[in-house]
Structure 1
């Protein structure tokens, strides 16, 4: 079966996976999502896991992105070094099954002591460029478990930096002394804004995180505001890192809407102009572009 007759795009992460059935004309005709990330697949279990995807979405060629191509995934697809565009990505696909299942490589960045890697985000970012959702020369903020600040030049990823904001909040929510205080939903309000301002202005994150609990105990803050303040504090610190040396102009905020809205609000508080882009739409655009290059 030829790729032009339709294919399945898979975004297979550490804890979740999403699959999309793409018709020959590029339309999305079916999709699925579950919690069967790579960590839930037993040794030697990827062929069965792929068969489950086919039983749900049909017997089509597959294009897979994300941690499935890592050294903990199915077949390791080596990183493409920056600068990287769609052509470089397509030329470095790793075939789990020749002509039938292609695994997309991640992107790496190394300059002096700096070292960074991504897997999956590159499909969204370059897909967004191809569909003119993002300019060819832009700064992209990609919130997630590991937030990415990505510089684009002439439509290629030239450098990026990862900040572990999402994972830190999750760890604190589940395993820290703050866990009881962080159970409520994060709301964009005064507590969130106060946290963002503190994160932007001060370099005392680890001390300020402890004060989240102390302020509640001493009656200086409301218990119900703790999660919003802590989230704002982490995001403000994230922005301080990502905006260092950033050019003026619009910043694309790409990912899941529940995350992009928080970062977009924080960027506005920092005096920057954000534009939210749906990560799923961008991923599908990237997958379609790569399928055309196969």
Structure 2
């Protein structure tokens, strides 16, 4: 029986999956992301995990392999395959492997990811998406990934969610962004206005709309979200395409709406199942 622990170890959160013969038999999620671990404390954290799960082999992915994590596991350059990730895995101690991230550098523009690559390649390896497909992982840093023959051929990271948070907390228009974001009329207006290719002007227009009484109070947050997501989507999606979304229900619905408004379609993919599929294949390759 194949039995191991897979850990998606991010900046603020950590999710562990106990996998037996390819199936998840237990899962836990906590706030022990890398920022919660004291310098030099990763050995103890991993020892605690091993004790909890009967000393099984462990495969770690995500920010734990960054230069701010336990050990820098480096990057595999795109186009990247799941075999390449396994071949470049780093073993800080016996019985523990850390999956590297993926990098790209084209025309002087670089990009990196850690953790998402396991989901993306796992989705392709498990047949959740076609071998040639466009995948999107919305979030603080939204990932757009182009798969080719099942490999991660290229990708782009957009600071969509982070920019929304910065505007709300620190920008002049933040005082207008008091309502909750919803898939509503204001959101749709934001997506539509993104098509004018004047994001900076449209953002200041949020302030002007408030002063002049042109927008219903409490709808600015939805409108700004629509502007940002609409700009993000229009930069990467073409009419007639199918985009495979690895997202939670709320954020997935917003991206699906914006993608639909540019004439493309979406299919939702279970990101947790994709991660397990990817990390299981990596564990098999590690032997």
TM-score (norm 1): 0.91
| 1:239 has 2:233 as partner | yes
Contact 2:178 2:218 (C-alpha < 8 Å) held by counterparts: no
Alignment match, 2:185: 190
Q: Cα gap change, 1:175/1:60 in structure 2, threshold over 3 Å: closer, same or farther?
A: farther
Contact 2:78 2:154 (C-alpha < 8 Å) held by counterparts: yes
Moved more, 135-144 or 45-54: 45-54
Contact 1:142 1:255 (C-alpha < 8 Å) held by counterparts: yes
SS state at 1:20 partner: strand
2:282 aligned to 265, 271, 290, which one? 290
2:104 aligned to 100, 105, 109, which one? 109
| 1:273 has 2:265 as partner | yes
Q: Cα gap change, 1:54/1:215 in structure 2, threshold over 3 Å: closer, same or farther?
A: farther
Alignment match, 2:31: 35
How many Å separate the matches in 2 of 1:211 and 1:59?
58
Alignment match, 1:48: 44
| 1:68 has 2:64 as partner | yes
How many Å separate the matches in 1 of 2:78 and 2:4?
28
Aligned-pair distance for 1:255?
2.8
1:1-294 maps to which residues of 2 (within 5 A)? Answer: 5-23=2-20, 25-98=21-94, 100-199=95-194, 201-243=195-237, 246=238, 248-294=240-286
How many Å separate the matches in 2 of 1:187 and 1:111?
36
Alpha-carbon RMSD across the aligned residues, in angstroms, is: 1.7
Contact 2:6 2:276 (C-alpha < 8 Å) held by counterparts: yes
Q: What is the total number of aligned residue pairs between the two structures? A: 286
SS state at 2:73 partner: coil
Aligned-pair distance for 1:51?
3.2
SS state at 2:91 partner: strand
How many Å separate the matches in 1 of 2:260 and 2:54?
44
Contact 2:240 2:265 (C-alpha < 8 Å) held by counterparts: no
Question: Unpaired segments of 5 or more residues in structure 2?
Answer: none
Aligned-pair distance for 1:210?
2.5
SS state at 2:246 partner: strand
Aligned-pair distance for 1:182?
3.0
How many Å separate the matches in 2 of 1:175 and 1:279?
32
**Per-residue displacement from partner, 1:257-277 (whole Å, max 9, x unpaired)?**
332221111101111011111
Question: Unpaired segments of 5 or more residues in structure 1?
Answer: none
Q: Cα gap change, 1:29/1:180 in structure 2, threshold over 3 Å: closer, same or farther?
A: farther
